[in-house]
Structure 1
């Protein structure tokens, strides 16, 4: 299994060297070009309803998620297939995360959190396919996901606790003179949550893909440093597989932490 994984990584590295090669001789590398949003059909300006490469790869992420969670588990075999095993592991992993971090009363939000996790992790992994497009590298996508989480937990906080939700910003354990100052700091940090939540995911994914293209450009531009570059690409690919999962995990566990604050706001 280890050998198969190694040769898959090498093959991806070589393919990337061809796909990301500079158009002209020399070290003219544009690592950010891969994140350009383009119309899927024809050319011209992108409007509100224009189908783009982002649209297509987001749709593929949804289809892949449905295929994994619905189609692979439809038979519910006693001896599960690999796809069913992955789906069951993902279900159990996210369920335990929600229960452990946010509490048992947060289980009713499990479908929403599970959907977030599966969409992000699937989009991240699809983005590692050569010549694909990583939708989670765009702040426009991650910001929407983060804002949905922010609005959800805020609404839940006020609906469940009413004005008591404001206790989240009042640090009762601190000395009385410091409480108003800490309340302002807590309030600012609360509204900064969707910014950090979205930038963390998009920034890490974008940085990894940019590094991949730089090394791929080196490999294609110079035969002397090509072996070193291919080795570096293989190592970065392995790291990016780990990052793809970790960033989905971080986004999801932060969602659980924010949900816990909404359900139990008192310090």
Structure 2
């Protein structure tokens, strides 16, 4: 009995934190199972992301001043960066798809940044969200490739610069790597966001221990700074990979 009591006392007084609970999906109203039509915390934070983007690009630039304010400057910098990225990677043929790519970039970067707020939720930490975006990119560029090039789009898988005997083997490799694109495209973003937030939660949990709390607070501060950088970099990587895939669809020849 004494041993059991001691174990229970130790369990109650011990440090307990669960870094993965922050990624759980909950209904916004009431409790119960989550269906496809149920408003959840993911729904809320995706809606807030859209509102934040609209506020920046519509309200922040409404004056169109010659000397821009800080909001107009941020909007213009984002617009110019993505526009140049699309033009440099895909050529001028790809500029007609700039609005779609700009939307992807803004949604990802705002989701990542808003997810760093206290008590916030990061939609891009879920493979269900990033998977839909990656699959949409995959289907879009594939359709564009066939519409623009017809059967010549299949030349993407036939490496003409390689020796003839190696071309069938390389074609199989190219086909496999092509269909793996949406998997790697989505997992990279979701995995990085989930890992960073989990590490922050772990360091925050150690702040309850007085002996290491100063180190824990310093680690959390450093991780927050790193997560801001990672959040932007992951949005940039997702966007530039989209541009690379679009370039392959527009110009499939090796």
Deviation at 1:219, TM superposition (A): 0.5
Alignment of 1:34-113 (within 5 A): 34-113=22-101
1:170 corresponds to 2:149: no
- For structure 1, which runs of at least 5 residues remain unmatched after alignment? 1-23
SS at match of 1:153: helix
The CA deviation string for residues 188-239 of structure 1, in whole angstroms up to 9 with x for no partner, is 000000000000000000000000000000012x110000000000000000
The CA deviation string for residues 67-96 of structure 1, in whole angstroms up to 9 with x for no partner, is 111111111012111000000000000000
Which has the bigger relative contact order, CA under 8 A and spacing at least 6?
Answer: 1
TM-score (norm 2): 0.95
Task: Tell me what 2:112 maps to.
Answer: 124
Task: Tell me what 1:223 maps to.
Answer: 210
Deviation at 1:25, TM superposition (A): 4.0
Alpha-carbon RMSD: 1.0
2:136 to 129, 140, 148: 148
Task: Tell me what 1:16 maps to.
Answer: none
Dislocated runs of 4+, deviation >4 Å: none
Q: Which whole-Å CA distance do the structure 2 matches of 1:233 and 1:46 have between them?
A: 32
Task: Tell me what 2:226 maps to.
Answer: 239
Deviation at 1:49, TM superposition (A): 0.7
Task: Tell me what 2:250 maps to.
Answer: 263
1:204 to 192, 203, 210: 192
- For structure 2, which runs of at least 5 residues remain unmatched after alignment? 1-11
Q: Which whole-Å CA distance do the structure 1 matches of 2:232 and 2:107 have between them?
A: 11
Q: Which whole-Å CA distance do the structure 1 matches of 2:206 and 2:104 have between them?
A: 36
The structure number with the bigger radius of gyration is 2
Q: Which whole-Å CA distance do the structure 2 matches of 1:133 and 1:25 have between them?
A: 29
Count of aligned residue pairs for this structure pair: 244
